[in-house]
Structure 1
Amino acid sequence: MNVPLGISAIIWKSGKVLCRYFEKEQINFAGKKVIELGSGTGLVGILAVLLGGDVTLTDQPNALDQIEYNIAKNIPKNIIQRAKVSALVWGKDHSQFPTDYDFILGSDIIYKPLEFHLLIRTLQHLSNQSTVIYLCSKMREYRGAIDFYEKLLPQYFDSKIVHSVPDEQINLYKITKKEMGVL
């Protein structure tokens, strides 16, 4: 692979924290429809496959070959068909994806304030009332993470911190779509 991957080539601490949480809490993805946003190396999505999920790992088009390579190296052949890789540009092509995911996963995807509204639009499309969203982030104030989780996200979703690593400034949020009243 000679494509410059930049931040997509890094295994971020937030991804490791999210994986450890799934292990500690014994989250079972068996038979569940899962999508990972901003998969990067695919660490979180690969674990979700290994824990039984039917997982779509998404990222920018230039990161897809890396994700496919990592899937091939880390998922046994007898279950590899449960992993799918797709390009997903937030707010642009999300409508090509279904709206019935059981889980939406993301780690360290909150760092470009100009794209926050695109991420919200994508999360709204991909989720329904029963979807559980896990987002794990390093709380970089200068990257807008605090504003995203404390101001923007609560307008559309209910969320709570279910795990944190204070010395790393990492929070893991469990998020669900708000019930919208009928007029």
Structure 2
Amino acid sequence: MPLIHSMALVPYVENPLPALSKLHNSSAQFRFANRDIRLAQDWKKLGVAAVVWDAAVVTCMYLELGGVELKGRRVIELGAGTGLVGIVAALMGAHVIITDREPALDFLSANVKTNLPADCRGSAVVSELSWGEGLERFPPGGFDLVLGADIVYLEDTFAPLLRTLEHLCSDTTAVLLACKIRYERDTAFLGMLRQRFRVEEVHYDKQRDIHVYKAQKLPPREDL
């Protein structure tokens, strides 16, 4: 899939391939956590940050399968885009910080507000997070679960993404990353991750070609 070669908020020219036409729709509808979810999309304005990718859908399916505990847990989503994964986590009882880069926040906030009932809105907060920057605003090791759907694709972001994961995770934090393995560099990122985290594949959606990996921090190595 040769689409994603630039930063997440760069708009793209209309692609004539029929398989990609759903990305150019102004909205996308789903049903998760026993609720209908309708998300605005804006490919022309915000590019890949403003459309729902298959990895987000597969992540939500995995959450519904009960792969991780959500009720009452402290959760943060990285590179949230339209907010689907964070919204579903909040609907399933988690306390979620839903993050993306600053240009996407108004769009993201509107989707969150539209799709969370009033009694659930306190469970989700939208916050700016550019990986590797301003991490002191987030409690070190302060989360039970870190979620990322289709955020592994741009080599320049790998090092700051790893720094971010290391900051957010304690020894008991679980990280769920859902992605396609498109290029050799994607496999290289998993290799980088395995130097600092214990990584296992916990789910594979064959139809959408999406892998879900669960990672947990390795204990610090003692110098011999």
Q: TM-score range by the shorter chain?
A: over 0.9
2:149 and 2:204 mapped to 1: Cα distance? 13
Q: Give, in whole Å, the separation in 2 of the partners of 1:115 and 1:26.
A: 27
Q: CA deviation at 1:27?
A: 3.7
Alpha-carbon contact 1:41-1:67 (below 8 Å) kept = yes
Which gives a bigger RCO, structure 1 or 2 (Cα 8 Å, sep 6+)? 1
Alignment equivalent of 2:146, drawn from 85, 104, 110: 104
| Number of equivalenced pairs | 181
- How far residue 114 of structure 1 moved from its aligned partner, in angstroms, is 1.1
More helix as a share of residues: 1
Once the two structures are superposed, residues 75-128 of structure 1 have per-residue CA deviations (whole angstroms, 9 ceiling, x without a partner) of 100110111011101111122211210000000000110110000000000000
Q: TM-score, normalised by structure 1?
A: 0.93
Question: For structure 2, which runs of at least 5 residues remain unmatched after alignment?
Answer: 1-39
User: What percent of counterpart residues are identical?
Assistant: 38
The aligned residue for residue 193 of structure 2 is 153
Worse-matched range after superposition: 131-140 or 93-102 = 93-102
Q: Which amino acid aligns with 1:98?
A: P
Off by >4 Å, runs of 4+ in structure 1:
none
Distance 1:94 1:140 in 2: 29
Q: Is the 8 A contact 1:9 1:40 kept in 2?
A: yes
1:44 aligns with 2:90: no
Q: CA deviation at 1:182?
A: 4.1
Mean Cα deviation higher: 37-46 or 70-79: 70-79
Return the letter of the residue paired with 1:46: I
Say whether residues 1:19 and 2:60 are aligned partners.
yes
From 52, 56, 59, give the equivalent of 2:97: 56
**RMSD (Å) for aligned C-alpha atoms:** 1.7
Report the secondary structure of 2:214's partner residue: strand
1:124 and 2:166 are equivalent in the alignment: yes
Distance 1:73 1:167 in 2: 30
Using the alignment, how far apart are the partners of 1:27 and 1:152 within structure 2?
24
Unmatched runs of 5 consecutive residues or more in structure 1:
none
> How far apart are the structure 1 equivalents of 2:102 and 2:130?
8
The structure that has the greater radius of gyration is: 2
What are the Cα deviations for residues 24-78 of structure 1, in whole angstroms up to 9, with x where unaligned? 2264311111000000000000001001011000001011111111111111001
CA distance in 2 between partners of 1:165 and 1:26 (Å): 14
